[in-house]
Amino acid sequence: MAVDTLIEKIKKTNAPVVVGLDPNLRFVPKFIQDKAYAEFGETLEGAAEAIWQFNKGIIDQIVDIVPAVKPQIAMYEQFGLPGLEAFKRTVDYCHEKGMVVIGDVKRGDIGSTSTSYALAHIGRIQVGSKFYSPFDEDFATVNPYLGSDGIKPFVDVCKEEKKGIFVLVKTSNPSSGEFQDREVDGRPLYELVGEKVDEWGSDVVGAYGYSEVGAVVGATYPEMGKVLRKVMPKAFILVPGYGAQGGKAEDLAVFFNEDGLGAIVNSSRGIIAAYQKEQYASFGEEGYAKAARQAALDMIADINAYRPNANN
Amino acid sequence: MAVDTLIEKIKKTNAPVVVGLDPNLRFVPKFIQDKAYAEFGETLEGAAEAIWQFNKGIIDQIVDIVPAVKPQIAMYEQFGLPGLEAFKRTVDYCHEKGMVVIGDVKRGDIGSTSTSYALAHIGRIQVGSKFYSPFDEDFATVNPYLGSDGIKPFVDVCKEEKKGIFVLVKTSNPSSGEFQDREVDGRPLYELVGEKVDEWGSDVVGAYGYSEVGAVVGATYPEMGKVLRKVMPKAFILVPGYGAQGGKAEDLAVFFNEDGLGAIVNSSRGIIAAYQKEQYASFGEEGYAKAARQAALDMIADINAYRPNANN
């Protein structure tokens, strides 16, 4: 099961951390862009080559210390078909290297349409007598606004393919409260979504007691994380918002269970664009991937300093 | 502006109707699949060729009677990169033919990530000194669960590019009420989302008094549609759920304003798979596209029979 594999890799690396591969072009060093444009021109293909080379450099530097990556598909989709080819190449390369891949796709629709998204990202599609895994991530992020009709088709595919999802519950952004925090019967909406996450995942629980149906809860809202941790005891929580968005390691302890598991903290630009920060500037542009490695090591130490049973 | 173009095409065809190009393989006649597999094998490329040929046949038959199409990207994404190439080919072909394209992508994220999705679907992305329109739809559907941080980047791109969005407010599926109908301060959540739609769209209003920021409200919930029509007077409403999902033309009058405008009703399988229904079976598989045309004509007549000022 995907959640078991994720847990085993977290235990092996002692790092409940995922690196967000969100290669905005402004994070990609000029020398990589120049080389890609020299080969492919200032085209979508050129941009796609640049982000792929950028990713590859980072993956090679973090593969032994980090269990998982989370490519944000919007950053690839914005370069059209060549961009999505770079997404696919990134997923495949991470798998070759043994990393878990969380596709941050935030898809969500209803019925057979949700099934199609699920097949695209974590399943297999039939063409005549053959089967294909189009994008082949291990996990996908999913939007719950359409209710159970939208989520259950994903859960069915999870069951069939031993893959997982993370459902958006309480997102890390400032305006996430606009709808998610509204009180329904005296409780915020995100709690109701959290309860549903618990229910949707109840019969896809793996060897460590965690479900294939996880949740996204922002590091920026630790008080809510504390409540949600209890509402969804079996859900692995994907926690964005650490670092650049303001989430602090000392606030993250509440997202973990007493077993030291139950959460994986994401950092994207804090890692992949570390070389642009004063703290890691000495690595220089050429050393962007080594800067990412150092930033990842620092992040792991920071998180583990507050995580219960960090060396479990 | 995209909404003005849409309105002009609706007026010209007298058809507030959009055909959902959701080419599930089980809708695609065997002769089309066989031909595509003969050329490309039972591969993702073969499936993509089949859905593209299927679409092309339908587009050619409806182009003079229907103002817009709504390709559901999940149905293409499930065939990976070749599928998304068929999506792009479909969008481009519809534009060549002068149709408005609503990309049913239901994307939604925050900040720069939402910007990336917006650029991918309704905007232009910069690579070095060049600009590209990756998927180039006229409208995109957007999920509001993340709040204003997720929507405003789309609205900014709408403003810049004179494109539009439809925000999910009340979806057509049976479980849409699970979260959308929950009462917040005595009113259902979808009303709050509707109010926000009105606010988000307030400074991108076109020549006919409608905004580039529209809403999705299911035909299956006409009572709610009636309320939402008043909550968002300037929003064009994209109405799914007619036909196959159970929405009836007599219930749709409430989605229109007195000017006969303000809504566009979608049908997907009811049109594109009409030949599989008893009513249109005489067209046969070979006549699938002509069956689609007849089903579209019947749908237009059905909707107009109840629409206020239908010949405005």
CATH code, A181: 3.20.20.70
Give A208-250 as a DSSP string: TS-BSEEEEE-TT-HHHHHHHHHHSTT--EEE--BGGGSB-GG
Domain tally, chain A: 1
**CB-CB under 8 Å, B172 with A110:** yes
Tell me the one-letter amino acid at A153: P
Distance from CA of A310 to the nearest CA of B (A): 31
| Closest CA in chain B for residue A78 | B120
Domain membership of residue B73 (yes or no) is yes
Please tell me the pTM assigned to this model.
0.97
Indicate if the pLDDT at residue B244 is higher than 80. Answer: no
Query: Using 50, 70 and 90 to split pLDDT, how confident is the model at B247?
Result: confident
Q: What is the pLDDT of residue B310?
A: 85
Percent of chain B past pLDDT 90, that is, above it, reads 96
Tell me the one-letter amino acid at B262: G
The verdict on B124 touching A (C-beta cutoff 8 Å) is: no
Distance from CA of B104 to the nearest CA of A (A): 10
Cα distance between residue B240 and residue B170, in whole Å: 10
Distance from CA of A259 to the nearest CA of B (A): 31
Distance from CA of B63 to the nearest CA of A (A): 25
Indicate if the pLDDT at residue B198 is higher than 70. Answer: yes
ipTM of the complex: 0.97
| Closest CA in chain B for residue A82 | B81
Residues of chain A with Cβ-Cβ distance to B82 below 8 Å are: none
Residues of chain A with Cβ-Cβ distance to B88 below 8 Å are: 80-81
Domain membership of residue A75 (yes or no) is yes
Domain membership of residue B311 (yes or no) is no
Half-sphere CA count of A186, side-chain side, radius 13 A: 0
User: Catalytic: which of A11, A35, A106, A226?
Assistant: A106
**CB-CB under 8 Å, B42 with A147:** no
Query: Are A125 and B78 contacting, i.e. CB atoms less than 8 angstroms apart?
Result: yes
**CB-CB under 8 Å, B24 with A114:** no
Which token pair is A147? 């209710």
The partner residue sitting opposite A171, judged by closest CB among B110, B117, B183, is B110
**CB-CB under 8 Å, A84 with B81:** yes
- Name residue A139's beta-bridge partners: A102, A164
Q: What is the mean pLDDT of residues B229-245?
A: 94
Cα distance between residue A124 and residue A132, in whole Å: 5
Q: Are strands B187-188 and B183-184 parallel, antiparallel or unpaired?
A: antiparallel
**CB-CB under 8 Å, B150 with A145:** no
Which token pair is B121? 């679907």
Domain membership of residue B11 (yes or no) is yes
Cα distance between residue A105 and residue A70, in whole Å: 10
Cα distance between residue A176 and residue A172, in whole Å: 7
With H, G, I as helix, E, B as strand and everything else as coil, classify residue A241. Answer: coil
Q: Active-site residues of B: which are they? A: 106
**CB-CB under 8 Å, A185 with B179:** no
Domain membership of residue A310 (yes or no) is no
Residues of chain B with Cβ-Cβ distance to A176 below 8 Å are: 146-147, 149
Q: What is the pLDDT of residue A312?
A: 55
Burial class (CB in 10 A: 0-12, 13-18, 19+), A45: buried
Cα distance between residue B288 and residue B61, in whole Å: 10
Which token pair is B145? 């669960």
Lowest mean pLDDT of A155-169, B111-125, B233-247, B263-277, name the range: B233-247
Query: Are B110 and B144 contacting, i.e. CB atoms less than 8 angstroms apart?
Result: no
Q: Among residues 178-197 of chain B, which lie with CB inside 8 Å of chain A?
A: 178-180, 182-185, 189, 192-193, 196
3-state helix, strand, coil in chain A (%, to 5): 50, 20, 30
The verdict on A143 touching B (C-beta cutoff 8 Å) is: yes
Query: Are A255 and A238 contacting, i.e. CB atoms less than 8 angstroms apart?
Result: no
Domain membership of residue B312 (yes or no) is no
Query: Are A130 and A94 contacting, i.e. CB atoms less than 8 angstroms apart?
Result: no
Q: Among residues 254-293 of chain B, which lie with CB inside 8 Å of chain A?
A: none
Matching residue, tokens 């690196």: A19
Q: What is the mean pLDDT of residues B128-133?
A: 97
Residue B291: give the domain boundaries. 2-304
Cα distance between residue B39 and residue B22, in whole Å: 23
Residues of chain A with Cβ-Cβ distance to B49 below 8 Å are: none
Residues of chain A with Cβ-Cβ distance to B174 below 8 Å are: 149
Cα distance between residue B36 and residue B34, in whole Å: 5
Distance from CA of A11 to the nearest CA of B (A): 30
The verdict on A166 touching B (C-beta cutoff 8 Å) is: no
- Name residue A131's beta-bridge partners: A126
Domain membership of residue B224 (yes or no) is yes
Domain membership of residue A309 (yes or no) is no
The verdict on B147 touching A (C-beta cutoff 8 Å) is: yes
| Closest CA in chain B for residue A111 | B173
Q: What is the signed CA dihedral for B202, B167, A195, A168, rounded to 10 degrees?
A: -100
Distance from CA of B208 to the nearest CA of A (A): 30
The verdict on A148 touching B (C-beta cutoff 8 Å) is: yes
Distance from CA of B306 to the nearest CA of A (A): 28
| Closest CA in chain B for residue A146 | B176
Q: Which residues of A218-243 are buried (b: 16+ CB within 10 A; e: fewer)?
A: bbbbbebbebbbebbebbbbbbbbbb
Residues of chain A with Cβ-Cβ distance to B135 below 8 Å are: 77, 80
**CB-CB under 8 Å, A44 with B78:** no
Distance from CA of A30 to the nearest CA of B (A): 11
**CB-CB under 8 Å, A178 with B147:** yes
- Cα angle, residue B188 at apex, residues B186 and B191 outer, rounded to 5°: 115
With H, G, I as helix, E, B as strand and everything else as coil, classify residue B260. Answer: coil
Q: Among residues 59-78 of chain B, which lie with CB inside 8 Å of chain A?
A: 72, 74-75, 77-78
Instruction: Give the DSSP H/E element, type plus range, for residue B101.
Output: strand B100-107
**CB-CB under 8 Å, B119 with A78:** yes
* A106 part of the active site: yes
pLDDT per residue of chain A (312 residues) written in tens, 0 to 9:
999 999 999 999 999 999 999 999 999 999 999 999 999 999 999 999 999 999 999 999 999 999 999 999 999 999 999 999 999 999 999 999 999 999 999 999 999 999 999 999 999 999 999 999 999 999 999 999 999 999 999 999 999 999 999 999 999 999 999 999 999 989 999 999 999 999 999 999 999 999 999 999 999 999 999 999 999 999 999 999 998 788 899 999 999 999 999 999 999 999 999 999 999 999 999 999 999 999 999 999 999 999 998 875
Q: Taking CB atoms and an 8 Å cut-off, how many pairs form between chains A and B?
A: 220
Q: What is the pLDDT of residue A310?
A: 85
The verdict on A134 touching B (C-beta cutoff 8 Å) is: yes
* Other beta carbons less than 10 A from residue B203's beta carbon: 11
Query: Using 50, 70 and 90 to split pLDDT, how confident is the model at B312?
Result: low
Helix axes B189-200, B222-231, angle to 10 degrees: 40
The partner residue sitting opposite B125, judged by closest CB among A37, A79, A168, is A79
